[in-house]
Structures are given as C-alpha cells and as structure tokens.
Amino acid sequence: LSVRDSTNGVETFLFASSVGGIMGTVTNDPLNIQTNNTSAIFIDASQNVGIGRTDPTSALSMGNDELIAVDVNAGLTASTTQEQGQGALTAQVNEISTVANINDTVTLPTAVAGLQIVIINNGAQTLQIFPASSDNLGAGVDTSTTLASGSNVVYCAYDDTNWESI
C-alpha cells in the first residue's frame, strides 16, 4: 500500500515482505505514529526517534515526564554453591535479600558494551560477585569481587569482556 499527498509530495508505504512488515516514507519526510490523534512515536528524516515528542534532538528523545523502566528482580537468594556461574543475574536491577553465608554467590550476565547491572546486597552476609566466564570485573578474568551487606554497586560493561564498577 502506497499513499502520496499530491499537495506536498509526501509518500508513505506499508507492505509485507519475506523479512516482515515494513512501513515508512519514500520521500525525505518524517514518520509519525499516532494514537488518539496525538503523536506517540515520531521518527524524523534523520532517523532520530521521539517518544511523546515530535522534535527529537538525538537518536532517542523522550518527552517530559517520560521514563524508561528497567527490569528489576527483588528478593533474590545468593547461591550457596559459591562458584562462578551460580546465582545468575537476569535483570538490570538485582536486589539480593538472602545471603546466608559469607561469600554466597551471584554471577553477572555476559558483558555487552553499554550494559549496566545494579546489585543491591540486602542480605546478612558479604556477597561474592563473579563475572560470566571469560569476563573481567577489574581484578582479572574470571576473578570474583565482594560486596558488603547493606551495600550496592553498579557495573557497566565498557566492551564485550570488561566491567567497571561505578
């Protein structure tokens, strides 16, 4: 399906292909997805995306009071096995409520540049944190670090192997 506005020459399209559904503009014009006659997602001609705004100033711009929620797992129990690979963390924010023994363990996901993981130790003991296999938390590949009870840490992967605590 292709539609052209003869007044201003804007042409849009919607079609299906072997890779999926595709919609967009043929001309050098923005694409505006609306609900209730209000812009919900706006993609300008430079491919900047605005959510809740029609004037994106970067690759992704949010409107006022718009937030991006992250995945949170609360009430986690650290692994008593105390080995790398145990107690796998699967969310961006991870609250560990049970650390029964000193050095009970959690393991970060595989490093991906730009990924941030928050670890909150609300357990009674010191928590041991391992990187995923072949990753580095700053103390050496496959080497763990610890987090005191009542503390938290944010790890940021700056490449596909290395994490930095910030």
CATH of the domain at 91: 2.60.120.640
Domain boundary among 41, 62, 83: 62
Cβ contact 8:23 at 8 Å? no
Considering the domain architecture, whether residues 57 and 96 belong to the same structural domain is answered as: no
Give per-residue pLDDT as tens, 62-121.
887 777 788 999 999 999 999 999 999 999 999 999 999 999 999 999 999 999 999 999
Cβ contact 26:37 at 8 Å? no
Burial class of 106 by CB neighbour count within 10 A (0 to 12, 13 to 18, 19+): buried
Considering the domain architecture, whether residues 52 and 11 belong to the same structural domain is answered as: yes
Give per-residue pLDDT as tens, 3-53.
888 888 899 999 898 989 999 999 999 999 999 999 999 999 999 999 989
Cβ contact 137:145 at 8 Å? yes
Answer whether residue 82 is part of any domain.
yes
How much is the pTM? 0.73
Show Cβ contacts of residue 91 under 8 Å, excluding neighbours closer than 6 positions. 70, 71, 72, 73
Considering the domain architecture, whether residues 56 and 96 belong to the same structural domain is answered as: no
Considering the domain architecture, whether residues 78 and 149 belong to the same structural domain is answered as: yes
- Beta strands 38-43 and 49-51: pairing type? antiparallel
Considering the domain architecture, whether residues 57 and 80 belong to the same structural domain is answered as: no
Considering the domain architecture, whether residues 91 and 56 belong to the same structural domain is answered as: no
Supply the range of the domain harboring residue 15: 2-62
Domain boundary among 62, 89, 111: 62
Q: Which long-range contacts (CB under 8 A, 24 or more apart) does 21-30 make?
A: 26/2, 30/54
Answer whether residue 67 is part of any domain.
no
Answer whether residue 43 is part of any domain.
yes
